[in-house]
Structure 1
Amino acid sequence: MSGEIEQRLAALGVTLPQAAAPAANYVPFVRTGSQLFISGQIPMGPNGIEHKGKLGADYGVEQGQVAARLCAINLLAQAKAALGDLDKVVRLVKLVGFVNCTPDFGDQPKVVNGASDFMVEALGEKGRHARSAVGVAALPFGVAVEVEAIFEVS
């Protein structure tokens, strides 16, 4: 039987993908003590990279939120790869969201809400977290959003 978090994901209609391999010289996660640091995840879907573009030019806030949600799904896939069981997550400590945007775009927090809202849906109270939402001039592969996470784990 799957754990509580996997049951929540199933209720949301979410199947975690296979954790993506790193695209450069880094590891996808590092566990040290009771903390799990997960490298930035991009909106990688079943058919490869999705949501390429710039907020404020190619994408609106709602499309950016969909991209951020997909990043969050990939964060949980990495957490499962690291821990074997998502119920070892004590809490999500922090998310950092990077939004590929035009200089005049100011809705980065609304975009990253796509990831934050999903984490609370998936993890319940364990998913409430500290956060930064940062606008950047470009992201790897031209994606619209990248999100990284720090979890407390048992």
Structure 2
Amino acid sequence: MTDTAAARLAELGITLPVPAAPVAAYVPTVEAGGFLYVSGQVSFVDGELVKGRLGENVSLEDGVIAARGCGLMLLAQAQAALGSLDRIARVVKLGAFIASTPDFTDQPKVANGASELMVAVFGDAGKHSRSAVGVPVLPLGCAVEIDAVFALLPA
């Protein structure tokens, strides 16, 4: 069976990063009841943590790139847990947390960086429900953190 998600990633010129190790007392993924729950992944881009707050010292464009970086790490964690992204039947939900100032209101535009990646990789099965929430601070001072729920095909 061809790994279609891997083929799409290759077509897009995307190489997934090495999955990040947890920074506290949790596991990166939990598979239960036909779903894979992926813990929040912070905004790494080209191996560097994107730090700061939207509306203060991180531009909207850089926030979108940071969210895409979170999406790539979500996929890397899923692939490590499942062995293949082709076990993913559907992206169910993304929860996006954006470190931002009180007057910054473009959190949904930032979160699109990860949402558009999911659709590019999984097609219609990448369309998902989502929340995009502004928060004053995130772990490690990062700009964006995103978690995910994936529905799985039977193993």
Deviation track 1:34-63 (CA, whole Å, cap 9, x = no partner) reads 01000000122453x421110001112111
- Counterpart of 1:28 in structure 2 is 28
Cα distance in structure 1, aligned partners of 2:11 and 2:138: 32
Give unpaired runs (5+ residues) of structure 1: none
- Counterpart of 1:136 in structure 2 is 135
- TM-score in terms of structure 2 length: 0.95
- Counterpart of 1:84 in structure 2 is 83
- Deviating above 2 A after TM superposition, structure 1's stretches of 4 or more consecutive aligned residues are 44-47
Task: For residue 134 of structure 1, report the CA deviation from its aligned partner.
Answer: 0.2
Cα distance in structure 2, aligned partners of 1:27 and 1:136: 23
Q: 1:73 to 1:21 in 2, by over 3 A?
A: same
Cα distance in structure 2, aligned partners of 1:96 and 1:147: 5
Superposition RMSD on alpha carbons, in Å?
A: 1.2
Q: Does 1:41 align with 2:36?
A: no
SS at match of 1:58: coil
Give unpaired runs (5+ residues) of structure 2: none
| One-letter amino acid of the structure 1 residue matched with residue 14 of structure 2 | V
- Counterpart of 1:113 in structure 2 is 112
| One-letter amino acid of the structure 2 residue matched with residue 21 of structure 1 | A
Q: Within 5 A, what are the aligned runs for 1:121-132?
A: 121-132=120-131
Cα distance in structure 2, aligned partners of 1:12 and 1:58: 30
| C-alpha contact 2:3 2:85 (8 A) present in aligned 1 | yes
| One-letter amino acid of the structure 1 residue matched with residue 22 of structure 2 | P
- TM-score in terms of structure 1 length: 0.96
Deviates more, 1:131-140 or 1:50-59: 50-59
SS at match of 2:105: coil
Task: For residue 100 of structure 1, report the CA deviation from its aligned partner.
Answer: 0.2
Deviates more, 1:16-25 or 1:126-135: 16-25
| One-letter amino acid of the structure 1 residue matched with residue 57 of structure 2 | D
| One-letter amino acid of the structure 1 residue matched with residue 84 of structure 2 | D
